[in-house]
Structure 1
Amino acid sequence: MRMRRYSQQVEEEPGIDLTPMLDVVFIMLIFFIVTSSFIKESGVEVNRPQAETAAAQDTGNILIAVTADGQVWLDKQVVDVRSVRAHVERMRQEQPEGVVVVQADQDARTGLVVKVMDQARLAGVPDVVLAASTEAH
């Protein structure tokens, strides 16, 4: 007599394995978080002057706000005008291609705005621009 061997085969239920899809989703999420540029805000709203030649800046910017009462805002905090250079140098390491945009209130003192722009230039930023609103017709 011949003995037959029967192997027990456990039949798996057919289904879709979602593990590779989840891996791809997490990799994409990490990619978008790392490559996204976060918008830095100055931390205060100012009443910008209007200009017909105002143009939008598309690159990553370092925003500095100068209020009508003489406060200088950078990275959502009030800073002394003498420390603007150090703050800009630190932020410039995070965004080497960024330009400095000074958002001066239309009633801000011109001397203070010039000091802020000078401190940004001393930090090694060649492009320091003033923000303005487009004139409404």
Structure 2
Amino acid sequence: MKRKKHTSAEDEAQVDMTPMLDIVFIMLIFFIVTTSFVKERGLEVNRPKDNQNTNQPSKSLSIQIDQNGIIKMGGREVDIRRVVANTQTFLAENPTDSAAIQAHEDTEHGTVVEVMNQVKEAGIEKVSVLVKS
């Protein structure tokens, strides 16, 4: 038997890809068929209605303290011991949750803190301090 020393490129071994492609397509079909396309369910959220009336802005309580410690509420001079009563009267007429204390820069700190405490005691939680120079 004679052997050829040089073989041509056509005689080399080749891998047939057809069976591998068949298996890949069969697996693809299997996964498509077995996958369930179910819509995921979530929780239904019942949000409360917004019951705040946006047409009426709330009127804020305004308190002025001058450099001598004189307290004015609504343009009237008020004694420091009557701030709670005057604040409650204001709240009865104008429901609000905020107050602004406008203090002169030379006002004693203790006076401003006392007014803040009395306003909070009357029922207003949001108190801001403005310094007037």
| TM superposition score category, shorter chain reference | 0.5 to 0.7
Higher radius of gyration, 1 or 2: 2
Instruction: Provide the residue aligned with 2:68 in structure 1.
Output: 69
In 2, the alpha carbon distance for the partners of 1:132 and 1:113 equals 10
Which residue of the partner structure matches residue 129 of structure 2?
A: 130
Matches of 2:96 and 2:72 in 1, distance apart?
Answer: 21
Q: How many residues get paired? A: 78
Find the aligned partners of 1:110 and 1:90 in 2 and give their Cα distance: 25
Quote the offset at 1:95 in angstroms. 1.6
Tell me which amino acid in the other structure corresponds to 2:117: D
SS in 2 for 1:86: helix
Indicate the residue corresponding to 1:6 in structure 2. Answer: none
CA RMSD of aligned residues (A): 2.0
Question: TM (normalized to structure 2)?
Answer: 0.54
Could you tell me which residue of structure 2 aligns to residue 89 of structure 1?
88
Which structure 1 residue ranges, 5 or more long, are not aligned? 1-35, 38-57
2:110 equivalent in structure 1: 111
Please list every run of at least 4 consecutive aligned residues from structure 1 whose deviation after the TM superposition is greater than 6 angstroms.
none
Partner Cα distance (2:97, 2:122) in 1 = 13
Deviations 1:99-130 (A, max 9, x none): 11000011100000000001100001111111
| Counterparts of 1:109 and 1:92, CA distance in 2 | 27
| TM-score for the superposition, normalised by structure 1 | 0.52
Structure 2: runs of 5+ lacking an equivalent: 1-54
Measured after TM superposition, the shift of residue 70 of structure 1 is 1.0
Aligned to 2:79: 80
Distance in 2, Cα, partners of 1:60 & 1:123: 16
- Provide the secondary structure at the position in 2 that maps to 1:129: strand
1:120 aligned partner: 119
Deviations 1:33-77 (A, max 9, x none): xxx97xxxxxxxxxxxxxxxxxxxx74211001100110001111
Q: Match for residue 102 of structure 1?
A: 101
* Greater relative CO (CA pairs within 8 A, separation 6+): 1
Change (3 A) 1:132 1:68: closer
